[in-house]
């Protein structure tokens, strides 16, 4: 997205969403040097087209046409396709998979969220089209804020000359057998705490990146649903580790199931001191 990606891993199997993933790669990754197209075992791979070209080969051909300077290779795996994608992501900078919007099935073995949260690098999940008119780049605000996710969102907003929306989705604590939490006893305090977090993040991002237009947005509701509902015109939605780790994994699943926009997921394994220093420079 900012020209930083040199090696992209791209999922390809007999499901159709890989077409949208290919289109996203050719339009967004800049001067990528290498693309590894990951296919399934040749014995079970479906054939496409009148010439009988296998799916992974057809995807590789499309990528080569879109990025003629890239070194495009096909790698086939037997067994779990999702595991193959996670393993292959170790050798690249970015993993891209396609998925059906609102129903089961994807080029990530049926569960793109499971792949995205385990990959070694940031993962872009591209839903089947049509995509909305490209609007803001949206960063879902974590607590604590995710520096890596912020850097990637800022880079994309800067590259595309689009506004960066900082979206903080929050919901009231639920009732328990012991009663409501202290914050739930005073709903205004809970909302105020989230508003203050968003204000701090907005001020910090604006100070670090004065050339980027920043728009804060505070919404109430179940975070995954709220993020998906308020990003229907987004060009890209960025989710940091706070929305990916095990305790809030449902946020990631809800967003990927309901969104109409491409989602960039920054998983725990992609967070290292070196990487954060590089993208923040």
For the cut 60, the answer to whether the pLDDT of residue 106 exceeds it is no
Identify the burial level of 267 via C-beta atoms within 10 angstroms of its C-beta, where 0-12 means exposed, 13-18 middle and 19 or more buried. Answer: buried
Between 216 and 27, residue with greater pLDDT: 216
What digits encode the pLDDT tens for the residues 117-163? 889 899 999 988 766 677 999 999 988 889 999 999 999 999 889 99
> What per-residue confidence (pLDDT) applies to 143?
86
* Percent of the residues in the chain that have a pLDDT greater than 90, as a whole number: 38
Q: Report the alpha-carbon distance of residue 252 to residue 248 in Å, rounded.
A: 8
Q: Report the alpha-carbon distance of residue 242 to residue 70 in Å, rounded.
A: 34
Can you read off the two tokens belonging to residue 182?
A: 């202290």
What digits encode the pLDDT tens for the residues 217-275? 999 888 999 999 999 899 999 999 888 764 455 788 889 888 889 999 998 888 764 34
Q: What is the pTM of this model?
A: 0.85
Q: Report the alpha-carbon distance of residue 66 to residue 133 in Å, rounded.
A: 21
Distances (CA, A) of 267 to 151, 171, 227: 14, 23, 17
């Amino acid at each position: 997205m900012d020209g930083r990606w040199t090696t992209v891993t791209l999922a390809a199997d007999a499901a159709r969403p890989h077409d949208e993933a290919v289109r996203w790669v050719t339009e967004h990754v800049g001067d990528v040097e290498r693309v590894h197209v990951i296919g399934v075992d040749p014995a079970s791979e479906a054939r496409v087209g009148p010439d009988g070209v296998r799916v992974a080969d057809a995807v590789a051909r499309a990528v080569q046409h879109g990025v003629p300077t890239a070194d495009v290779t096909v790698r086939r795996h037997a067994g779990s396709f999702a595991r193959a994608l996670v393993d292959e992501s170790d050798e690249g900078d970015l993993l891209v998979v396609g998925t059906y919007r609102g129903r089961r099935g994807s080029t990530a073995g049926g569960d793109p969220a499971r792949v995205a949260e385990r990959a070694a690098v940031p993962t872009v999940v591209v839903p089947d089209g049509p995509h909305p008119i490209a609007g803001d780049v949206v960063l879902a605000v974590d607590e604590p804020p995710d520096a890596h996710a912020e850097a990637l969102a800022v880079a994309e907003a800067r590259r595309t000359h689009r506004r960066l929306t900082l979206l903080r989705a929050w919901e009231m604590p639920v009732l328990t057998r012991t009663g409501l939490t202290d914050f739930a006893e005073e709903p205004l305090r809970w909302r105020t705490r989230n508003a203050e977090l968003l204000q701090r993040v907005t001020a910090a991002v604006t100070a670090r990146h004065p050339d980027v237009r920043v728009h804060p947005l505070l919404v109430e509701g179940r975070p995954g649903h709220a993020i998906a509902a308020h990003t229907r015109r987004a060009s890209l939605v960025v989710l940091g580790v706070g929305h990916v780790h095990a305790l809030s994994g449902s946020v990631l699943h809800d967003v990927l199931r309901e969104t109409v926009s491409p989602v960039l997921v920054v998983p725990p394994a992609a967070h290292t001191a070196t990487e954060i220093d590089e993208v923040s420079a």
